Amino acid sequence: MTTHLENEAVLVSEAQTGNADSFAVLVKQYERQIYRLSKIVTGNPEDAEDALQETFLKAYKNLKQFRGESRFYTWLVRIAMNEALAKLRRRNSYTWVSLDEPIENDESGTTLREIKDWRDNPEECYNQTELREILSQALQDLETPLRVVFVLRDVEGLSCEETAGVTGLSVPAVKTRSMRARLKLRKKLSFWFENRSALAAR
């Protein structure tokens, strides 16, 4: 959960008048969280660093557009998510499609889209930080639209309304994607832990 500065509104107001020191305080407060979010979305430290720099540059240039209708951090996250997703789109060559768009098949008529995992089996990568790696891998295996909503809702603690504002989705869409993300993570983690238990019992 992100900790917010008590005098944040004052700092933002001062930064809007050109006070670079006040903006520097805001950067110091939130740069770690913005980098973490960007890295989760892009899955790449270099892209996350670029997204971080672009986020604060754009935030500084557009400070006067911030009207205080949401928390400053929420406004910052919206910029960061746009930058991170732009990095991801440029890096990947596949065509982006909506997860809500079904695929026709011969059996049931339609089915939900799934993205194939081409990475190594996580069971081959266990070490002393096993649990953290499993959780990180499971999160990266989520489709990007689901991962973004999950991180905003369950990692950052944004409300459905705030998440909708950041992503441009409707509140019902946020709730749907949040539920899908949680179910997918639960299923994947359960599968991994069951396999781990089975291997340990041999």
Q: How large is the average pLDDT for residues 173-177?
A: 94
Predicted confidence band at 188 (pLDDT cuts at 50, 70, 90)?
Answer: confident
Please check whether residue 140 is in contact with residue 48, taking contact to mean a CB–CB distance below 8 angstroms. Answer: no
Domains of the chain: 8-91 (1.10.1740.10), 128-201 (1.10.10.10)
| Residue 176 to residue 79: CA distance in whole angstroms | 23
Q: What is the tens place of the pLDDT at every residue in 94-152? A: 444 444 545 445 455 554 444 444 344 444 444 445 666 777 778 888 898 999 999 89
User: What pLDDT is stored for residue 99 in this prediction?
Assistant: 46
Residue 185 has pLDDT above 90, yes or no: no
Predicted confidence band at 178 (pLDDT cuts at 50, 70, 90)?
Answer: very high
Phi, psi of 50 (to 5 degrees): -65, -45
User: What pLDDT is stored for residue 47 in this prediction?
Assistant: 92
Q: How far is CA 55 from the centre of its chain?
A: 14
Which amino acid, residue 183? L
